[in-house]
């Protein structure tokens, strides 16, 4: 099980603006500290944490942050419209488009996804596979 994902950022203020555009809408709580930004899903009393947590931090070695080639973090939305709305909000908050929301021929018939780059260049996917919505072929 993946416990957490961390991406690097040279400009925490820009990163905060970008991630604030969609992570709270997906239910993530937010904390900011001297070490960066922390996002986690809420935990009910007596329940185990819902993983993974997501962190945005300056690099530990002090060198510029860089996005990994082939690295991507995906966040699940509840509906196709939420994917559209959050993709647009993230673009307005400083993200770059890497693929407009929609179905992709090479993925399953219910996998609705939009791709972005955060201000640092990290690739982010927002997707929904809601079985109550029309699929690619429907």
How much is the pLDDT for 138? 66
Write out the residue range of the structural domain in which residue 76 sits.
4-128
pLDDT at residue 137 greater than cutoff 90? no
Predicted confidence band at 32 (pLDDT cuts at 50, 70, 90)? very high
- CB contact set of 69 (below 8 Å; sequence gap of 6+): none
DSSP three-state, residue 129: coil
- Could you tell me the CATH number of the domain that includes residue 55? 3.10.180.10
Confirm whether 43 is domain-assigned.
Answer: yes
Residues 73, 79: Cα–Cα separation, whole Å: 18
> 79 preceded by cis ω (within 30°)?
no
Residues 72, 80: Cα–Cα separation, whole Å: 20
Confirm whether 138 is domain-assigned.
Answer: no
For 1, the token pair is 């099980």
* Cα 108–chain centre separation: 20
Q: Number of folded domains in the chain?
A: 1
Confirm whether 136 is domain-assigned.
Answer: no
Residues 60, 72: Cα–Cα separation, whole Å: 20
**pLDDT tens-place string over residues 3-26:** 999 999 999 999 999 999 999 999
Predicted confidence band at 100 (pLDDT cuts at 50, 70, 90)? very high
How much is the pLDDT for 1? 78
Tell me 7's DSSP state: E
Confirm whether 70 is domain-assigned.
Answer: yes
Phi–psi pair at 117, nearest 5 degrees: -120, 135
pTM for this model (two decimals): 0.92
Which residues pair with residue 76 across a beta bridge?
A: 127
């Amino acid at each position: 099980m993946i416990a957490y994902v961390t991406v690097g950022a040279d400009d925490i203020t820009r990163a905060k603006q970008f991630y604030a555009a969609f992570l709270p809408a997906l239910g993530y709580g937010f904390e900011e500290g001297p070490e960066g930004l922390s996002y986690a899903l809420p935990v009910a009393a007596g329940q185990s944490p819902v993983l993974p947590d997501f962190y945005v931090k300056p690099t530990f070695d002090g060198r510029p942050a860089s996005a990994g080639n082939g690295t991507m973090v995906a966040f699940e939305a509840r509906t196709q419209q939420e994917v559209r709305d959050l993709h647009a909000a993230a673009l307005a908050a400083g993200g770059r488009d890497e693929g407009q929301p929609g179905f992709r021929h090479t993925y399953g018939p219910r996998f609705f996804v939009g791709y972005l780059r955060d201000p640092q260049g990290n690739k982010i996917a927002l997707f929904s596979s809601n079985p109550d919505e029309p699929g690619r072929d429907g």
